[in-house]
Structure 1
């Protein structure tokens, strides 16, 4: 009988391949996969879309370890129907994304964005259109998970007042106060900065829309590093163009790569970064801490201990 396969969608260092094989000596560990081998895959690290149908049709597949934190692009309904376990990479990118957000905020408040533009034109301009200080600002984190908590921890040392929003309003470490998502439009009225760190689900689709932007201060800043489809792009563009809010920074978009003909490129008070906030130093080591712990518990107890995804909720 052919051995079951642990398939790795991306290459990992030899040291990690050895650790996987040591934990699972009865499995084949492979980074390539032929059509004939799909039926042997029991564990998939990443989701190879070209084998989507054949993997789902297989009775062998038991567990998918997503490499990213977001899983909205995966066939969650079919996973549920087939009793396939799913875990994600939540937490790996928390520090990187937090630093990206802080860099974005400082670039705006300290006029660095404007300085770069003037430098490109070889102009010495000291009369900036905008400058301010980050200290003392009220920041609302919409999504108080790993990233939100790391952001709160990092940015409080700069004198920022951090509030949070999550599904139920339950308390979370590092936040002055947390509120339920249903109160979003009420809470944003008092905030200088609103940061979206939400997963992409049916409940979060276009949750940042004109209802929210209309209630924000005209001096407020909006940042999104969650999922692109949590923002109603056209309504955000309108809010920025009409100066309903002062500035926005987007690292994720409803369509990626952002098309060259997107009107977003022309909006002066918008910073666009190409989905780079999650780029993480020593990613493999951080990811493998999650996967190896889950592999051990899977083999011993047929269960996962870290970052198991609720297939109904999508996170």
Structure 2
């Protein structure tokens, strides 16, 4: 262990011992930085700052500008801790090529995203969106506001990870029947039933609401296309808090216009920020939120709980204990 500590953190240059570097895209509270700086030099990236890239062994977050410095045959980079849950924008093939470990921030946003989805469900089922529109027009028309009860509804949750499980548990409390979709259809606690991703279209036929929480992979790109929306009940709704490119935006717009589904709520988009001229802004029965479902007031603590657990394991064994990503699968 003593040998590894010396090897991992020190380099002799001109007789001076140089600490290896943790390079981050953002700063953290002093109490967290102090824990890192016992073994490493912590640097917050700035494009104007001179960095000895040969000393960078860990990164917190990732910048495309780092590719040319850290993804080469001479790299000493060993571990990337992604800040978000999604890692689809990262150079996974290059990480695999250079044997770089990758972990993500999965679980940090589970509570916030669950709260966001519950808010959508209650506002939709109680006609709150229509009431807001009527208020703007100074209309009093209670008979025109549709409403439904949430209990006994079948809600299809596509993605049975930490967010999906937390949502399923919350929905069960309200008498909802949570049905899960994952890659293989394996059972997951909290769901009444689970099905494989290949059964998505069949499950869509009976669902009252379909919620996408999947990461973006080749398999999930444009998973929700024209053929999918054609399977939905006209009274059903669709929410996306996963990744924007999972939805064929043109197909969704067309489906809403044809009333193949009653309502949609999108928090993520194929192009972000959503351009002002995008037709989604003017699509009826669609709610747009600007990628805010995962915002959490206690982010640093939740993130550092993951990072520091991995950090201690990395120092002793060069392994990770939380949220390690399979680079071949992309999740």
Q: CA deviation at 1:53?
A: 1.4
The 8 Å contact of residues 38 and 51 in structure 1, kept in 2 or not, is answered as no
Q: CA deviation at 1:204?
A: 0.6
For residues 272-293 of structure 1, the C-alpha deviation after alignment (integer angstroms, 9 at most, x for no partner) is 0000000012000000000000
Q: In structure 1, what is the equivalent of residue 4 of structure 2?
A: none
Identify the match of residue 225 of structure 1 among 237, 241, 252: 241
For residues 230-266 of structure 1, the C-alpha deviation after alignment (integer angstroms, 9 at most, x for no partner) is 1111111111110001110000000000111111111
Rg comparison, structure with higher value: 2
The 8 Å contact of residues 194 and 223 in structure 1, kept in 2 or not, is answered as yes
For residues 188-208 of structure 1, the C-alpha deviation after alignment (integer angstroms, 9 at most, x for no partner) is 111101000010100111111
- Structure 2 counterparts to residues 291-302 of structure 1, below 5 A: 291-302=307-318
Uncovered stretches (5+) of structure 2, i.e. residues with no partner: 1-11, 13-17
Partner of 1:207, secondary structure, is coil
Q: In structure 1, what is the equivalent of residue 170 of structure 2?
A: 154
Over the aligned positions, Cα root-mean-square deviation in angstroms equals: 1.2
Partner of 1:127, secondary structure, is helix
Cα distance in 1 for partners of 2:51, 2:264 equals 49
User: TM-score w.r.t. structure 1 length?
Assistant: 0.96
Cα distance in 1 for partners of 2:206, 2:79 equals 44
Partner of 1:64, secondary structure, is strand
| Alignment partner of 1:122 is 2:138 | yes
Q: In structure 1, what is the equivalent of residue 45 of structure 2?
A: 32
Q: In structure 2, what is the equivalent of residue 214 of structure 1?
A: 230
Q: CA deviation at 1:269?
A: 0.7
User: TM-score w.r.t. structure 2 length?
Assistant: 0.92
Q: In structure 1, what is the equivalent of residue 59 of structure 2?
A: 44
Cα distance in 2 for partners of 1:263, 1:179 equals 34
- Structure 2 counterparts to residues 162-311 of structure 1, below 5 A: 162-311=178-327
Residue correspondences, number: 312
The 8 Å contact of residues 111 and 128 in structure 1, kept in 2 or not, is answered as no
Q: CA deviation at 1:122?
A: 2.7
The 8 Å contact of residues 131 and 145 in structure 2, kept in 1 or not, is answered as no
Cα distance in 1 for partners of 2:261, 2:63 equals 40
Deviates more, 1:30-39 or 1:90-99: 30-39
